[in-house]
């Protein structure tokens, strides 16, 4: 792809904004939109206390004072609101290069950019961790409020994919380093978007989810409908294991097509069950296109 055309495609992207809510209290000192356990502010009511514990005349509450026995002057106490770190952990295994009704890697880049845009718009910081066989230090982004971060992340991910597509890897890229991604996160509880097609072994998926247990994890499952829908009922097909590197010829027939669809349905149930066991939020399945409104509804209904 010519450099001018590549830059035009990258620069024309407008990230979609979605909204999220935390079911827990933030611990950061940075001011933000989320409830904390720190006293202060005036938007998140905590309790009534005797006036001498909170000697602020503007917080005096006469109704609460009248209800006390014996009567004593009462004032209102509020929780401060703060920010959290939001991360995207992305899977760069070979299967994420699949192209069908959409380019899965570009879809992943768009979602990561939208997550960055949404976090910064909410007043939170955003960081990125990318993994294949190793944790990719060249793509790592620590939590920051830097302007233009969404465009930078998308550009970096697309350039990485463009470079990878022109090179032949000596070994197939897997997602074996995903459990190590947790070591790159801050110790304080963070909101983590785990972006992958989840074509992972059960052992690797369990290790990844267990390593992220201290955080609030939102699994985003990227599938392409070409993988299991609209498959011809009869005919020869040439298939490739994108991570194993092997090719194979298959004779398609109705029974095999039904088996493929059944396996995907079972895989969907298995992912949901593993996420429930690990205590993460319910996974959000993204097929072909990303819709920020649907993700917002999923995130807000789960809290």
Which tokens go with 68? Answer: 């006390």
- The whole domain housing 62 covers 31-82
Q: CA-CA distance, 226 to 260, in Å (whole number)?
A: 12
**Burial track 212-250 (b if 16+ CB lie within 10 A, e otherwise):** beebbbbbbbbbbeebbbeeeeeeeeeeeebbeeeeeee
Same structural domain, 42 and 134: no
For the chain, the domain total comes to 2
Write the CATH number for 226.
3.40.50
Same structural domain, 186 and 55: no
Same structural domain, 78 and 93: no
Same structural domain, 143 and 61: no
From first to last of the 303 residues of the chain, give the pLDDT tens digit: 555 444 544 456 788 999 999 988 888 767 777 878 777 766 677 788 888 888 888 888 888 888 888 889 988 887 778 899 999 999 999 889 888 888 999 999 999 999 999 999 999 999 999 999 999 999 999 999 998 999 999 999 998 877 665 554 456 788 899 999 999 999 999 999 999 999 999 999 999 999 999 999 999 999 998 888 878 888 888 777 666 667 788 788 888 888 988 999 999 999 999 999 999 999 999 999 999 999 999 999 866
Q: Which of 64, 82, 100 is the last residue of a domain?
A: 82
Half-sphere exposure of 240 (CA within 13 A, CB side): 9
This prediction's pTM: 0.84
Long-range contacts of 272-279 (CB under 8 A, 24+ apart): 274/202, 274/205, 274/206, 274/209, 275/209, 275/219, 278/206, 278/209, 278/210, 278/212, 278/213, 278/217, 279/213
Same structural domain, 113 and 193: yes
Helix and strand element counts for the chain (H, E) = 7, 10
Q: Which of 82, 105, 123 is the last residue of a domain?
A: 82
Same structural domain, 161 and 183: yes
CA proximity to 94, closest of 200, 182, 6? 200
Same structural domain, 46 and 150: no
Same structural domain, 77 and 36: yes
| Kind plus residue range of the DSSP H or E element containing 150 | helix 149-165
Task: Provide the pairing of β-strand 247-252 with 125-131.
Answer: unpaired
């Amino acid at each position: 792809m010519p450099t001018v055309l590549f830059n035009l495609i990258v620069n024309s992207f407008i990230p979609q904004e979605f909204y999220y809510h935390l079911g827990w209290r933030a611990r950061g000192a940075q001011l933000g939109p989320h409830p904390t356990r720190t006293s202060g502010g005036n938007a998140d009511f905590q309790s009534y206390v005797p006036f001498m514990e909170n000697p602020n005349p503007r917080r005096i509450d006469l109704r609460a004072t009248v209800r006390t026995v014996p009567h004593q002057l009462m004032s209102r106490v509020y929780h401060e609101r703060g920010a959290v770190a939001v991360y995207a952990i992305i899977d760069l295994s070979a299967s994420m290069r699949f192209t069908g009704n959409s380019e899965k890697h570009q879809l992943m880049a768009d979602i990561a950019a939208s997550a960055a845009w949404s976090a910064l718009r909410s007043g939170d910081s955003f960081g990125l961790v990318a993994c294949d066989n190793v944790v990719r230090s060249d793509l790592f982004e620590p939590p920051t409020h830097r302007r233009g971060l969404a465009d930078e992340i998308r550009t970096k991910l697309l350039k990485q994919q463009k470079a990878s597509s022109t090179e032949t890897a000596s070994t197939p890229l897997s997602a074996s380093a995903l459990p190590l991604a947790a070591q790159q996160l801050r110790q304080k509880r963070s909101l983590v978007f785990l972006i992958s097609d989840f074509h992972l072994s059960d052992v690797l998926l369990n290790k990844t989810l267990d390593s992220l247990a201290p955080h609030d994890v939102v699994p985003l499952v990227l599938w392409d409908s070409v993988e299991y829908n609209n498959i011809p009922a009869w005919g020869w097909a040439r298939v490739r294991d994108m991570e194993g590197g092997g090719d194979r010829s298959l004779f398609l027939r109705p029974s095999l097509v039904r088996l493929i669809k059944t396996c995907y349905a079972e895989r969907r149930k298995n992912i949901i069950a593993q996420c429930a066991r690990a205590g993460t939020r319910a996974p959000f399945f993204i097929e072909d296109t990303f819709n920020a409104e649907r993700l917002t509804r999923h995130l807000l209904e789960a809290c």
